[in-house]
Chains A and B, each alone.
Chain A
Amino acid sequence: MLEHLIPVLAGTLGAATPLIFAGLGELVAERTGVINLGVEGMMLIGAIAGFAAAADSGGGALAGLPAGAVAGMLAALVFAVLSLSMAANQAACGLALTIFGVGLSAFIGQHYVSFSLPGLQPLDIPGLVDIPVLGRILFHQDPVTYLGLITFAIVWWVLRKTRLGLVLKAVGEAPDAAHAIGYPVIAIRYGATLFGGAMAGIAGAYLSTVYTPLWVQNMVAGRGWIAIALVVFATWNPTRLLLGAWLFGGVTILQFHAQGLGIALPVQFLAALPYLATVVVLVLISRDKRLLQLNLPASLGKPWMP
């Protein structure tokens, strides 16, 4: 049993990585009051930009991840101009961004259908990797997975311990008050939205250049939407988001190890599990209206103009 469980748990961390990046980005944006439903689109744009950069430059994931971040940010900029500067409906703009991202990535992706990339070798953390069992699970991962955990730590620290974090949260809770004491509400929301775009772009590029290093149309496969659901599940708390991402990573990876673990269910059922789990988790968290109201950034989704 244990020899089957180690790859499952190790794989869970990798499968959780795109959810951690995309989820953290969306969490920060939502903390400032911006709900961007375009995560799926930004991830797809990041995925194809990252793949194209990696394939065309020959630089692999090292070229792909920054390219994904920039592309995700550009996509978020379009959303920001419409929904922040022009005060258009955020839900509709995010949906438009996703539809646009699906189309754009498929369009550009046609040139890359038969390409494949080398991917990234796992990076062993010296010393720690030799710990029995745990070492192979935690310290034998690709570098981006470590980077995801570092990003989590930074976001947690900024939101919890710094003045910047306070300002971000103030803008989300009470934009009028933040404006009155002189903070540039729109500029701060732009910053958070672009950060969200960069994170989603990295998440997408991770999928296309590291996780499964080849281009498949619509390869993000709903992970962007799951990331949005995770932010709700986490009640806008980064630590709970991390736990949620691991939980979903585990559910995602299950289908590849079902046979080894002795689970005899149709493959489609296992593939549908993460989506089913998302619904269940949303229901569990949303049924407690008070819990949600208490944590929901007060200005979430409401256009604001000075």
Chain B
Amino acid sequence: MPLLEPRPTPSARMRLLSPLIAITLTLAVGSLLFLALGKNPVEAFTVFFVQPLSSGNGWSELMVKAGPLILIAQGLAIGFRARIYNIGAEGQLIVGALAGGGVAIALDGVDAWWVLPLMVVAGAIGGALWGAVPALLKTRFNAEETLTTLMLTYIASFTLSYMVNGPWRDPEGMNFPQSIMFGDPALFSPWFEGMRVNAAILIAAVASVAFWIFTSRSFLAYQLTVGGLAPAAARYAGFSAQRTVWVSLVLSGLTAGIAGVGEVAGPVGQLNLNISPGYGFAAIIVAYLGRLNAVGIVLAGLLMALLYLGGEAAQVALQLPAAITGLFQGMLLFFLLGADVFVDYRLKPRPKPAYA
């Protein structure tokens, strides 16, 4: 006897409640986890979610981490609406960082205002091209984009490893796999003394507004969404499925590429093997948690950034492994998918006993 029955119409209220339920459940299971590890949950949550925001530097770090997450998730959401599952944003970020970083290395010593904008453009092109490859493979050869985008991520990270171990290795870097440190013209300058927050967050903010306008106002975005919800209807209306694939993958590659430049020209300041703590993957969760909605993604991105900060703080204050962030991310997505079931379904009322 199934416990669920379909709702007559999807519940709009449940769509908004679902992320909150997922967050609550994650916190509840998180408390049990902290108890099991012999930590006081109240203290642990203070370390995780309150302490990081109790200083100016904490807020600055929140912006530093939220920037790339929001930027990438905005791009991904366009594709997810159209049911194009780009799960290789991490690779597109890396290629964007390589393209932007390459410009910085080539123009090292050039003191001009246009170096940084050129890096951003190069990163956008690099990421978009890396997203265009699976688009070509899908439209031309029918190859599943979930698998190709992910395989291209591995290829991108080996390319990065080759470049920083070979052609672009800093000759004075004691053989560490890293490039030269970029000069000031190739860096986003921090807004405040001693804090890392910089203009890269503005790119994420502008992108959020642009994507909000794009998704709520443009006919193209409407076509993409219809293509995802009702492929047959989209075909009947003459909307191009091929264009959907191209727009989704190139756009999400582009935003991920820019995010990559934001990292190497920001907090990292060079090319090395640790340019991203998995932003490309975490952004998938951000996109879903934010309901594939531009405003929702901003909120979800801030929460995910806080999760990263909390993980770092927990490492120092509670001697918990930093991997706990990944564990929380996975739990959050699970609970979200579980709660999302109740958008389309509801619990079946138990049948009344038949006796009089």
A93/B337 contact (C-beta < 8 A), A107-B326, A286-B144, A289-B142 known: yes
Distance, CA A95 to CA B282, complexed state (A): 11
Interface string of B1-25 (1 = CB under 8 A from A): 0101000000000000000000000
- Selected from B150, B161, B165, B329, the residue in CB contact (under 8 A) with A99 is B329
Residues of A with C-beta under 8 A to B284: 95, 99
Residue on A nearest B333 in the bound complex, by CB: A96
Residues of A with C-beta under 8 A to B40: none
Which stretch from B49-57, B254-262, B338-346 is at the chain A interface? B338-346
Distance, CA A292 to CA B143, complexed state (A): 11
The answer to the question of B154 belonging to the interface, with a C-beta cut-off of 8 Å to chain A, is: yes
B288, A92: Cβ atoms under 8 Å?
yes
Within 8 A of A (CB), among B225-245: none
Residues of B with C-beta under 8 A to A91: 85, 146
B331, A225: Cβ atoms under 8 Å?
no
The listed residue with most B CB atoms (<10 A of its CB), out of A268, A269, A278, is A268
Interface string of A67-104 (1 = CB under 8 A from B): 00000000000100010001111011101110111111
The answer to the question of A228 belonging to the interface, with a C-beta cut-off of 8 Å to chain B, is: yes
Count of B residues near A, CB < 8 Å? 45
B330, A103: Cβ atoms under 8 Å?
yes
Residues of A with C-beta under 8 A to B331: 100
Residues of A with C-beta under 8 A to B321: 106-107, 110
A268, B162: Cβ atoms under 8 Å?
yes
Residue on B nearest A106 in the bound complex, by CB: B323
Within 8 A of B (CB), among A214-239: 217, 221-222, 225, 228-229, 232
Residues of B with C-beta under 8 A to A82: 334, 337-338, 341
B143, A104: Cβ atoms under 8 Å?
no
Distance, CA A86 to CA B335, complexed state (A): 12
Residue on A nearest B134 in the bound complex, by CB: A279
A279, B152: Cβ atoms under 8 Å?
yes
Min C-beta distance of A235 to chain B, whole Å = 14
A268, B2: Cβ atoms under 8 Å?
no
Residues of B with C-beta under 8 A to A243: none
The answer to the question of A271 belonging to the interface, with a C-beta cut-off of 8 Å to chain B, is: yes
Interface string of B114-157 (1 = CB under 8 A from A): 00000000000000000000000100111110111011101100
Distance, CA A275 to CA B321, complexed state (A): 30
Min C-beta distance of B104 to chain A, whole Å = 21
Dominant secondary structure of chain B at its interface with chain A: helix
B329, A103: Cβ atoms under 8 Å?
yes
A103/B323 contact (C-beta < 8 A), A92-B337, A96-B334, A266-B162 known: yes
Min C-beta distance of A225 to chain B, whole Å = 5
The answer to the question of A166 belonging to the interface, with a C-beta cut-off of 8 Å to chain B, is: no
A106/B334 contact (C-beta < 8 A), A272-B159, A282-B143 known: no
A222/B323 contact (C-beta < 8 A), A96-B337, A268-B161 known: no
The answer to the question of A161 belonging to the interface, with a C-beta cut-off of 8 Å to chain B, is: no
Residues of B with C-beta under 8 A to A96: 330, 333-334, 337
A87, B159: Cβ atoms under 8 Å?
no
B337, A88: Cβ atoms under 8 Å?
yes
A103/B151 contact (C-beta < 8 A), A37-B146, A282-B143, A287-B142 known: no
Min C-beta distance of A154 to chain B, whole Å = 27
The answer to the question of A276 belonging to the interface, with a C-beta cut-off of 8 Å to chain B, is: yes
The answer to the question of B328 belonging to the interface, with a C-beta cut-off of 8 Å to chain A, is: yes
The answer to the question of B356 belonging to the interface, with a C-beta cut-off of 8 Å to chain A, is: no
B326, A99: Cβ atoms under 8 Å?
yes
A78, B345: Cβ atoms under 8 Å?
no
- Selected from A86, A97, A99, A279, the residue in CB contact (under 8 A) with B281 is A99
A283/B137 contact (C-beta < 8 A), A87-B345, A268-B162 known: yes
- Selected from B87, B140, B147, the residue in CB contact (under 8 A) with A278 is B147
- Selected from A88, A107, A221, A286, the residue in CB contact (under 8 A) with B340 is A88
Distance, CA A266 to CA B159, complexed state (A): 10
Distance, CA A236 to CA B180, complexed state (A): 49
- Selected from B140, B155, B166, B326, the residue in CB contact (under 8 A) with A106 is B326
Distance, CA A209 to CA B284, complexed state (A): 32
The answer to the question of B285 belonging to the interface, with a C-beta cut-off of 8 Å to chain A, is: yes
The answer to the question of B27 belonging to the interface, with a C-beta cut-off of 8 Å to chain A, is: no
Residues of A with C-beta under 8 A to B142: 286-287, 289, 292
Distance, CA A286 to CA B144, complexed state (A): 8
Residues of A with C-beta under 8 A to B161: 268
Interface string of A245-274 (1 = CB under 8 A from B): 000000000000000000000101101100
Distance, CA A293 to CA B148, complexed state (A): 19
A107, B137: Cβ atoms under 8 Å?
no
- Selected from A92, A222, A292, the residue in CB contact (under 8 A) with B151 is A222
A278/B151 contact (C-beta < 8 A), A103-B330, A268-B161, A289-B142 known: yes
B338, A86: Cβ atoms under 8 Å?
yes
24 A–B contacts from the bound complex (CB under 8 Å): A86-B4, A95-B85, A95-B87, A96-B334, A99-B281, A99-B329, A99-B330, A100-B331, A102-B281, A103-B325, A107-B326, A217-B323, A221-B154, A229-B151, A232-B144, A266-B166, A268-B158, A268-B161, A279-B137, A279-B151, A279-B152, A287-B141, A287-B143, A292-B142
Query: Chain A interface (Cβ within 8 Å of chain B)?
Result: 37, 78, 82, 86-89, 91-93, 95-97, 99-104, 106-107, 109-110, 217, 221-222, 225, 228-229, 232, 266, 268-269, 271-272, 275-276, 278-279, 282-283, 286-287, 289, 292, 305-306
Query: Chain B interface (Cβ within 8 Å of chain A)?
Result: 2, 4, 85, 87, 137, 140-144, 146-148, 150-152, 154-155, 158-159, 161-162, 165-166, 281, 284-285, 288, 321, 323-331, 333-334, 337-338, 340-341, 345
